[in-house]
Amino acid sequence: MSLPETQIPAAEASARKLTMVEALREALSEEMRRDERVILLGEDIGIAGGFGGAFTVTLGLAEEFGHRRVVDTPISEAAIAGVAAGAAAGGLRPVADVQYGDFLFIAMDQLANQAAKLRYMSGGKISVPMVMRAPVGATTRGSQHGQSLEAFFTHVPGLKVACPSNPYDGKGLLKTAIRDDNPVIFFEHKLLYGSKGARKEAGGIEVLGHVPEKEYLIPFGQAKIARPGRDITIVANLLMVHRSLQAARILAERGIEAEVIDVRTLVPFDWDAVAESARRTRKLMIVEEDNLTGGWGAEVAARIGDICFGHLDAPIRRVAAPDTPVPFAPVMERFYIPSTDTIVATAQELVSSY
Amino acid sequence: MSASTLDKTQKAGMFRRMVLCRKFEERVYYLFLEGRLPGTVHQSAGQEASAVGVCSALVEGDVITSTHRPHSHAIARGLPVKSLMAELFAKSTGCCRGKGGSMHLGDLALGMLPAIAIVGGGIPLATGQALAFQYLGRKNIAACFFGDGAANIGTFHEAINMGAIWNLPVVYICENNKYGASTSVDKVMKVEHVSERAAAYGIPGVTVDGNDVEAVHRAMWSATERARTGSGPTLLELETYRFSGHSRSDPGHYRPQEEVAAWKQRDPVALYEKALTDQGILTEEEARQIHDSVEKELEEAVKFAEESPSPAAEDCLSDVFA
Ligand SMILES: Cc1ncc(C[n+]2csc(CCOP(=O)(O)OP(=O)(O)O)c2C)c(N)n1
Ligand SMILES: [Mg+2]
């Protein structure tokens, strides 16, 4: 599948195009150059002749920054997360990663009980400026290598959650995450990496994005209108932004103008942007790859239903994965991941029935 | 069957299983290159002696747990090759009906829990299987495969300690193939042998040449005796090497070529074939027949897999709850 890139405002445009992997790598290296305290922790991230992490994001960084700052760990996710949190409290700015987001469950105690709560339990005396990067998304690897886990972390007070859909946002948000004084869970989608060569993902989409050479940051809590429209608002993140944009193009051919909002960060969340759009279009749907029940979309539906009650002409709909684990067989996986067709059908139904 | 009395039939059977493991991986490799299999795959060529040596000491009702690299374990445990191949093809006739894939091969009714692709995730499960055997008064044991990389994750410590304090009928089998993905063991472990860690739990720890199938069988046999008689677990470390990259996409540039070449000199399948023919246990003709019959079995397995139906998309929704 090949999709046109996400639209970005003209002011942000530049001639240079990067993949997500290249943009994230650039964010890491820029921040490491400007701040000695930034170190990387993870499995297989800096081994000579190795991978540069599971998806090549850290390739070449050990050569530039040395093994003192690009630290290869044993397979020990709980300790990776906890050591990052401890080092953060001790004055460093660690960027840790897990090879697949699914392994965050192993690190859950250190993230949810330690990193997220040190500040609160200390009466505000401690800060934990760490980033935990985690690839998500189903890619025919089955139930333990394809989950989307954003909702687990949006539920924990004290954690920030970012989820960029394109290289420009990836770089700007990762730099902001590293400078943030709080623990940030940074989700990346496997099909958006644009990894090349042997690490190329089957089914990956080409999201080459304009990334200016000049330094920039993207603040947390600012959603982006990825496509303006007047008839319905579609809120999405990660891969689902691209499926929603594709759906919007199909809907446009049928005379329906969908507005697509890329949330960019889930915590903090840009309630104003979504509420403003929903009031304008009077119809809202949310698209996420996570399981339906208790997904972050459920929170958006509940809150917008509350804030915008009386401004909406239709029920708020969610398009999400069914409440099942991720299946292996491609035919089942295609059924599992929300498709462009389902987004189109749902939007069309909302617009035509209400 | 006992360690000292492996007879000709048993040895020939073990050799055949090893050839089946090897040739299965060779086929899978090409099927992947041809784009006929979805997903990813972690291959086990080079590690056949550990898989077969361990499973040759098991009896009906015993259970193995496995990892992201489960093909040889499943074959060695005796799961039908057709159902394994069909699973890799994502077909409804696969051992997990197309829901599991390469990393979750298994069939509990046949003595193998679906493989666990979370490193270390299978160690508590094997311990729990052993608790159930002990509680139910069954004579069976659990055999828990994991890699050197798994020796550094928390579940290794927590579960082996429990197995030890409760004298559970389980054997913990670390296939030390010198690398966890690109990471060499000596970078992530200060002790030389994983088996040394057994001392911390008060159980025996043994390191064995994992490319010598009969040595593996003997060591596993004594560990199972201990486990079956209520004396508790053993930590068995099998030193071996994977011939392929870590996964389908890995060319393995982090391993010195001389190291790879040296291990290929100690190819467990070739070693065993030579030993058996040298000792006159198999004639060259008999060895050739084994190779031929394996090829034929695999040919049929691929055909079976290809001709099997795919699951329906909606099958995604079933099997969530019992
Ligand atoms: C908890 C966890 N962390 C990381 C991974 C990614 N991963 C898969 S296999 C592997 C290396 C495992 O090494 P080892 O245990 O030695 O087994 P081997 O691959 O050598 O058979 C890694 C890091 C994983 N599957 N699970
Ligand atoms: Mg290993």
Instruction: For B15-50, write each residue's pLDDT tens digit.
Output: 999 999 999 999 999 999 999 999 999 999 999 999
For the question of an ipTM over 0.90, the answer is yes
Nearest protein Cα to ligand 1, atom 13: B180
Say what the pLDDT of residue A333 is.
Answer: 98
The C-alpha of A86 sits at a distance from chain B's nearest C-alpha, in angstroms, of 18
* Cβ-based contacts of A325 with chain B (< 8 Å): 320
Instruction: For A82-124, write each residue's pLDDT tens digit.
Output: 999 999 999 999 999 999 999 999 999 999 999 999 999 999 9
Best CA proximity match to B160, nearest among B126, B188, B209, B211: B126
Cβ within 8 Å of B, A 306-335: 322-325, 327-335
CATH of domain A224-353: 3.40.50.920
Distance CA B73, CA B71 (A): 5
Mean pLDDT of B62-91: 98
Report whether pLDDT(A194) > 80: yes
Instruction: For B142-179, write each residue's pLDDT tens digit.
Output: 999 999 999 999 999 999 999 999 999 999 999 999 99
Say what the pLDDT of residue A14 is.
Answer: 57
Say what the pLDDT of residue B288 is.
Answer: 98
* Average pLDDT across chain A, whole number: 95
Contact B183 A334 (CB under 8 A): no
Say what the pLDDT of residue B3 is.
Answer: 55
Fold match between A11-210 and A224-353?
A: yes
Task: Decide whether any atom of ligand 1 lies within 6 Å of the B179 Cβ.
Answer: yes
8 Å CB contact between B118 and A144: yes
Task: With H, G, I as helix, E, B as strand and everything else as coil, classify residue A139.
Answer: coil
Instruction: For A237-252, write each residue's pLDDT tens digit.
Output: 999 999 999 999 999 9
CATH of domain A11-210: 3.40.50.970
Q: The tokens of B235 are what?
A: 């930590």
Contact A336 B104 (CB under 8 A): no
For the question of residue A145 being annotated catalytic, the response is yes
Report whether pLDDT(A280) > 80: yes
The C-alpha of A281 sits at a distance from chain B's nearest C-alpha, in angstroms, of 34
The shortest CB-CB distance from B316 to any of A44, A78, A327 is to A327
Q: DSSP labels for A257-282?
A: -EEEEE-SEEES--HHHHHHHHHHHS
Report the separation in Å between the CA atom of B176 and the middle of ligand 2, taken as the mean of its atom positions: 5
The shortest CB-CB distance from A329 to any of B120, B254, B310 is to B310
Cβ within 8 Å of residue A211, ≥6 positions away: A14, A16, A17, A18, A22, A23, A26, A167, A168, A171
Instruction: For A6-38, write each residue's pLDDT tens digit.
Output: 444 444 555 899 999 999 999 999 999 999 999
Whether B106 has its CB under 8 Å from any CB of chain A: the answer is: no
> Which one is catalytic: A145, A189, A210, A242?
A145
* Cβ-based contacts of A47 with chain B (< 8 Å): 182-183, 187, 254
- Closest ligand to C-alpha of residue B152 is 1
Domains of chain B plus CATH, in order, are 8-308 (3.40.50.970)
The shortest CB-CB distance from B104 to any of A48, A75, A142 is to A142
8 Å CB contact between A194 and A303: no
**In chain A, what are the domain boundaries?**
11-210, 224-353
Distance CA B243, CA A244 (A): 44
Contact B39 A74 (CB under 8 A): no
Say what the pLDDT of residue A201 is.
Answer: 76
From B71, B119, B153, B250, mutation site for ligand 1 pocket: most ligand atoms within 8 A of C-beta? B119
Ligand 1 atom closest to the CA of B119, numbered from 1: 26
Report the separation in Å between the CA atom of B150 and the middle of ligand 2, taken as the mean of its atom positions: 8
Q: The tokens of B95 are what?
A: 């051992």
* Average pLDDT across chain B, whole number: 97
From B65, B68, B146, B187, mutation site for ligand 1 pocket: most ligand atoms within 8 A of C-beta? B68
Best CA proximity match to A275, nearest among A321, A316, A245, A241: A316
Q: Band of the pLDDT at A205, cuts 50, 70, 90?
A: confident
Cβ within 8 Å of residue A256, ≥6 positions away: A229, A231, A232, A347, A348, A351
Say what the pLDDT of residue B89 is.
Answer: 98
Task: Decide whether any atom of ligand 1 lies within 6 Å of the A77 Cβ.
Answer: yes
Q: Band of the pLDDT at B208, cuts 50, 70, 90?
A: very high
Q: Can you give the pTM of this predicted structure?
A: 0.96
Distance CA B45, CA A247 (A): 45
Contact B181 A145 (CB under 8 A): no
Distance CA A276, CA B309 (A): 49
Residues β-bridged to residue A209: A18
